């Protein structure tokens, strides 16, 4: 990329062979001992598959030595599919960095012949189980860190030429390949254009994960909410692409992201589609309910215990007071203490090695919970509420959204501590205003609730039967409205 | 000229329903029964129906009037009819109406919070919270305001079924004798009920922000019908539950109605009502602040940030200056009167002037042809 800032970075402009020769893993030699000047080979040993060099490249060069007169002849000689010729050193070096082998003939120094011998499969994990987005029913395979493998997995799921994959390179140091994937004749080209434009316009040093793209490309980066849907599940991303969303993969990341995303989409689990639609809808409803519970349960506790104890019936007041009678703190301190403890357990659980983590989580949770009630630091009713709302926040299938939901309760707890129910209502209004305000790739984030789209509620709030929800979500403005044509049993000529 | 509104800032036609209905329903719903029963007593529902019908005429007139305006809103209409100086002056007078409407919601709500929930909370805190939230929403533009209107109509509607509990205790004989009042009593009740029907006049400001706005008229009519029906349901419940003498001494009948509801886990259902009512007043607060900001930016060329700040400051100043319950009563009377004059006096007048101007234009162009 040529732009004014380039001079400040020593890497962008001077891609030369001399620079490459400084590395010890850069290998340069001639296959012909007697005539070393005739042909020279250069490559990075760390990027090229060594067995391809010894088994195919060198034998081919030895065998066809007499036929080799001109750089163009290499095309016919070398048994590799991807061979390119270029005159630019800079481009040649860029190719070498991708795992190409450079061949240069003594009689035509300026022509760089490049053959692809990369070993991109090396050092990749073999297992591709979904680790964070688990489902009981349905496929368990997820994406891995390798872009080619991921694109293969996707292609295998959607073997149609309409699936378009466009690749860009991002990162001045990492040169990460980023793939934009969409379905021709389904995805609205405007979204593809917007996505590509945002990707092209953005400059970064090292791209580690797709999630970074998510924050940088977002319409509003000062929001708690994830504006793009990232997932490691093949079925989920396939569904997103066939719905008319644009998917973005980046090499080195097991996560793909789909955009434009809407708020309710984050509470959809692929499993909903593998269960009978009544069950699927029920679980989706439970998930939405648990989001509400997780955000509002502890703030309501704080508001009621601090200001509005009148609303508790007499019969319930007894147990509540009993549980709090020895607690020396105001409710808000009690709640913040417990919530932070739970978050501490969650964070420790995520960082600890998996085997220790589980044990420590259980022991820590039980011991700390039990002991803090015994020590009268918290009331046990609050412990139940906090534990339940922590549990509820993990029902959200997308991890990023689950984190957002967890964090949201803290401002609400503080608002409740200051202004009781009034504060919670005010917080709710701000939250709603914020959600309505957000946009993902230019699409309103809160759709189909606002702008209200009645026809698309059957695959957002509930999961309607396949007999009815055969159309794509129209808020994604897809080019074709129908996924398939539902047929009734009668049409098929079934016997009643 | 305000210029045309970008399509990305426009909202669909059906949103008119929630904009009009949301702005009509407000804090007045908590005590309008007591006020309108002063005149026609148990027959007050006739007056509500009558005013509801009149509002349909107002909607009709508003849409006809706005179709004649070049820029689609009252600000451009004022400029067209009266020239830049007088037109802007008239628009700035409307700024005070918007501010008044917002104050008329926030101050009584703060009073209810004060009486029912937080006896010690200072007035400035309550009004500050409401205005801060409203300011945040308005700063998001008209789309966000419209979205809040939709949510703040749908969510409060969920508590409507709770009217079943007072209806269980309704004395239907309270409505008898039917139609036993004179015309002057009905008129008195009708005049009192105009206050809760105010709101469609804000169409004058947000009309250009509605897609296919000429076709949105049916949604405005649906909104007014919805409002009328809602008020009738609440009024009938109230009149059935209270007798006339009780009602006369009840300050917030709707809240008292909700007080009798009890659940195993919830003793005081009125708290739900009170906090829910913050949602109910929000469409008015947001739309009126939005309209006030638009007046300032369009006529006095304020920047949006300054206009919003000025509007919020003026409102909080007005709210804080109304210290006593008596002054709230006076404020409601003022709004009721100003609103009536605006809806039934100024808008028809403007309508006539616009029609006259159009006729003159037409005859002139006919003559020149």
For residue A4, is pLDDT > 50?
Answer: no
Distance CA A345, CA A338 (A): 11
Distance CA A62, CA A30 (A): 11
Nearest to A30 by CA among A22, A39, A19, A20: A39
Chain A residues with CB under 8 Å of B136 CB are: 430, 433
Nearest CA to CA, how far is B217 from chain A (Å)?
19
Chain B residues with CB under 8 Å of A448 CB are: none
Chain A residues with CB under 8 Å of B209 CB are: none
Q: Is A450 on the interface with B (CB under 8 A)?
A: yes
Which tens digit of pLDDT belongs to each residue from B176-186? 888 888 899 99
pLDDT of A109:
79
- How many residues would you count in chain A? 496
Average pLDDT over residues A218-228: 89
* Percent above pLDDT 90 for chain B: 69
Asked whether the beta carbons of residue A432 and residue B265 sit closer than 8 angstroms, the reply is no
Number of cross-chain residue pairs from A and B with Cβ atoms under 8 Å apart: 91
* Percent above pLDDT 70 for chain B: 99
Phi-psi region of A244 (alpha: psi -120 to 50; beta: other; left: phi over 0): left
Distance CA B37, CA B50 (A): 15
Nearest to B154 by CA among B51, B18, B245: B18
pLDDT of A489:
66
Distance CA A107, CA A346 (A): 65
- Shortest CA distance from A317: residue in chain B: B265
**Which residues make Cβ contacts (< 8 Å) with residue A418, sequence separation at least 6?**
none
Distance CA B301, CA B2 (A): 11
Per mean pLDDT, which range of A433-442, B261-270, B337-346 is the poorest? Answer: B261-270
Residues 302-341 of A with CB under 8 A from B: 307-308, 310-316
- The pTM (predicted TM-score) of the whole model is 0.89
Chain B residues with CB under 8 Å of A437 CB are: 140-141, 143-144
- Shortest CA distance from B117: residue in chain A: A308
- Structure tokens that stand for A342 in this block: 């739970």
Q: What are phi and psi of A358, to 5 degrees?
A: -60, -50
Which tens digit of pLDDT belongs to each residue from A98-111? 888 998 888 877 88
pLDDT of B187:
92
Nearest CA to CA, how far is B284 from chain A (Å)?
14
Which tens digit of pLDDT belongs to each residue from A122-150? 777 776 788 788 888 888 888 988 888 89
Distance CA B123, CA B311 (A): 18
Chain A residues with CB under 8 Å of B271 CB are: 308, 310-311, 421
Average pLDDT over residues B310-322: 95
Chain B residues with CB under 8 Å of A315 CB are: 264
Chain B residues with CB under 8 Å of A319 CB are: none
Q: What does DSSP assign to residue A190?
A: H
Banded model confidence at residue A492, pLDDT cuts 50, 70, 90: low
For residue B268, is pLDDT > 50?
Answer: yes
Asked whether the beta carbons of residue B117 and residue A307 sit closer than 8 angstroms, the reply is yes
Distance CA B129, CA B145 (A): 17
Nearest to A103 by CA among A149, A142, A71, A132: A71
For residue A299, is pLDDT > 60?
Answer: yes
Asked whether the beta carbons of residue A422 and residue B118 sit closer than 8 angstroms, the reply is yes
Nearest CA to CA, how far is A96 from chain B (Å)?
47
Residue among A220, A305, A432 with most chain B CBs within 10 A, to mutate:
A432
Please say whether the beta carbons of B174 and B45 come within 8 A.
no
- Shortest CA distance from B133: residue in chain A: A430
Banded model confidence at residue B195, pLDDT cuts 50, 70, 90: very high
Nearest CA to CA, how far is A450 from chain B (Å)?
6
The gap between the terminal CA atoms of chain B, to the nearest Å, is 29
For residue B191, is pLDDT > 60?
Answer: yes
Summary mean pLDDT of chain B: 91
CATH code reported for the domain at B11-359: 1.20.1740.10
- Structure tokens that stand for A272 in this block: 């909903």
For residue B88, is pLDDT > 70?
Answer: yes
Distance CA B283, CA B24 (A): 9
Chain A residues with CB under 8 Å of B137 CB are: 429-430, 433
Q: Is A285 on the interface with B (CB under 8 A)?
A: no
Which tens digit of pLDDT belongs to each residue from B24-33? 999 999 989 9
Q: Is A433 on the interface with B (CB under 8 A)?
A: yes
Banded model confidence at residue B8, pLDDT cuts 50, 70, 90: confident
Distance CA A21, CA A201 (A): 32
Average pLDDT over residues A437-444: 91
- Structure tokens that stand for A386 in this block: 């906090």
Chain B residues with CB under 8 Å of A314 CB are: 267
pLDDT of B289:
96
Q: What does DSSP assign to residue A181?
A: E
pLDDT of A1:
43
Domain spans, chain B: 11-359
Of the candidates B126, B140, B151, the beta carbon closest to that of A422 is on B126
**Which residues make Cβ contacts (< 8 Å) with residue B301, sequence separation at least 6?**
none
Of the candidates A308, A312, A430, the beta carbon closest to that of B133 is on A430
Domain spans, chain A: 4-116, 147-261, 295-444
Give residue ranges of B with CB < 8 Å to any A CB: 11-12, 14-15, 113, 117-118, 121, 125-126, 129-130, 132-133, 136-137, 140-141, 143-144, 146-148, 150-151, 262-268, 271, 274-276, 278-279, 282
Nearest CA to CA, how far is B286 from chain A (Å)?
11
Average pLDDT over residues B265-291: 93
Distance CA A256, CA A246 (A): 10
Chain A residues with CB under 8 Å of B6 CB are: none
Of the candidates B147, B265, B275, the beta carbon closest to that of A422 is on B275
Of the candidates A313, A420, A449, the beta carbon closest to that of B267 is on A313
Chain A residues with CB under 8 Å of B282 CB are: 429
Among A351-360, A404-413, A462-471, name the most confident range: A404-413
């Amino acid at each position: 990329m040529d732009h004014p800032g380039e001079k400040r970075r020593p890497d962008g402009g001077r891609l030369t062979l001399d620079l490459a020769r400084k590395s010890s893993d850069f290998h340069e030699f001639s296959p012909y001992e007697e005539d070393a000047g005739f042909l020279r080979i250069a490559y990075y040993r760390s990027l090229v598959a060594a067995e391809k060099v010894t088994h195919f490249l060198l034998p081919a060069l030895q065998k066809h030595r007499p036929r080799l007169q001109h750089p163009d002849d290499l095309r016919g000689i070398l048994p590799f599919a991807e061979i390119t010729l270029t005159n630019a050193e800079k481009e040649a070096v860029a190719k070498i960095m991708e795992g190409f082998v450079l061949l240069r003939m003594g009689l035509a120094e300026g022509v760089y012949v490049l053959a692809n011998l990369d070993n991109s499969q090396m050092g990749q994990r073999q297992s591709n189980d979904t680790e964070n987005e688990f489902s009981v029913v349905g496929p368990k395979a997820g994406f891995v860190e390798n872009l080619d493998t991921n694109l293969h997995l996707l292609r295998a799921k959607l073997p149609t030429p309409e699936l378009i994959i466009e690749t860009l390179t991002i990162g001045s140091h990492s040169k990460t390949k980023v793939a934009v994937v969409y379905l021709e004749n389904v995805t609205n080209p405007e979204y593809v254009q917007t996505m590509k434009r945002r990707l092209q316009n953005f400059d970064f040093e090292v791209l580690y994960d797709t999630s970074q793209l998510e924050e940088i490309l977002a319409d509003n980066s000062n929001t708690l909410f994830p504006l793009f849907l990232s997932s490691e599940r093949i079925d989920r991303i396939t569904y997103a692409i066939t719905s008319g969303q644009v998917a973005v993969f980046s090499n080195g990341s097991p996560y793909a992201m789909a955009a434009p995303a809407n708020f309710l989409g984050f509470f959809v689990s692929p499993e909903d589609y593998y269960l009978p639609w009544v069950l699927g809808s029920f679980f989706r409803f439970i998930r939405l309910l648990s989001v509400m519970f997780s955000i509002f349960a502890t703030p309501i506790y704080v508001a009621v215990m601090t200001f509005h104890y009148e609303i508790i019936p007499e019969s319930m007041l007894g147990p509540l007071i009993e549980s709090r009678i020895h607690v020396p703190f105001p409710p808000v301190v009690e709640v913040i203490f417990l919530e932070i403890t739970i978050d501490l357990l969650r964070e420790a659980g995520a960082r600890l090695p998996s085997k220790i983590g589980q044990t420590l989580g259980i022991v820590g949770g039980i011991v700390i919970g039990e002991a803090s009630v015994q020590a009268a630091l918290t009331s046990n009713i609050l412990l139940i509420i906090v534990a339940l709302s922590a549990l509820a926040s993990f029902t959200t299938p997308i991890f990023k959204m689950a984190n957002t939901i967890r964090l949201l309760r803290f401002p609400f707890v503080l608002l409740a501590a200051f202004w009781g129910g009034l504060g919670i209502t005010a917080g709710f209004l701000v939250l709603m205003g914020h959600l309505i305000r957000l946009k993902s790739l230019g699409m309103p984030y809160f759709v189909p609730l606002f702008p209200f789209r009645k026809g698309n509620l059957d695959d957002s709030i509930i999961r309607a039967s396949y007999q009815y929800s055969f159309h794509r979500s129209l808020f994604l403005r897809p080019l074709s409205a129908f996924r398939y044509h539902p047929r009734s049993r009668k049409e098929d000529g079934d016997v009643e | 000229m305000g210029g045309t509104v970008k399509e990305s800032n426009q909202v669909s036609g059906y949103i008119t329903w929630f904009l009009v209905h949301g702005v009509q329903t407000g804090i007045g719903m908590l005590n309008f029964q007591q006020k309108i029963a002063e005149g026609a007593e148990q027959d007050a529902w006739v007056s509500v129906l009558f005013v509801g019908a009149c509002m349909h005429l107002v909607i009709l007139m508003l849409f006809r009037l706005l179709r004649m305006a070049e820029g689609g809103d009252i600000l451009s209409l004022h400029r067209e009819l009266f020239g830049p100086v007088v037109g802007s002056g008239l628009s700035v007078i409307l700024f005070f109406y918007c501010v008044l409407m917002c104050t008329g919601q926030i101050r009584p709500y703060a009073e209810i919070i004060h009486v029912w929930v937080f006896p010690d909370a200072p007035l400035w805190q309550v009004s500050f919270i409401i205005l801060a939230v409203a300011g945040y929403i308005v700063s998001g533009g008209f789309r966000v305001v419209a979205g809040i209107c939709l949510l703040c109509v749908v969510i409060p509607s969920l508590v409507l079924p709770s009217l079943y509990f007072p209806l269980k205790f309704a004395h239907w004989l309270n409505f008898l004798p039917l139609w036993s009042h004179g015309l002057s009593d009905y008129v008195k009740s009708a005049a009192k009920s105009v206050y809760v029907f105010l709101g469609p006049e804000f169409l004058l400001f947000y009309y250009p922000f509605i897609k296919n706005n000429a076709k949105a008229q049916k949604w405005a009519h649906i909104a007014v019908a919805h409002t009328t029906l809602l008020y009738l349901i609440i009024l009938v419940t109230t009149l059935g539950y209270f007798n006339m003498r009780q009602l006369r001494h009840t300050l917030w009948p709707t809240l008292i109605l909700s007080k009798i509801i009890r659940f195993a886990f919830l003793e005081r259902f009125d708290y739900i009502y009170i906090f829910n009512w913050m949602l109910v007043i929000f469409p008015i607060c947001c739309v009126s602040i939005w309209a006030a900001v638009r007046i300032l930016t369009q006529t006095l060329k304020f920047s949006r940030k300054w206009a919003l700040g000025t509007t919020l400051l003026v409102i909080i100043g007005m709210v804080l200056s109304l210290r006593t319950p008596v002054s709230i009563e006076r404020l409601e009377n003022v709004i009721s009167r100003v609103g009536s004059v605006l809806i039934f006096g100024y808008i028809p007048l403007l309508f006539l002037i616009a029609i006259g101007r159009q006729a003159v234009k037409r005859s002139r162009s006919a003559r020149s042809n």
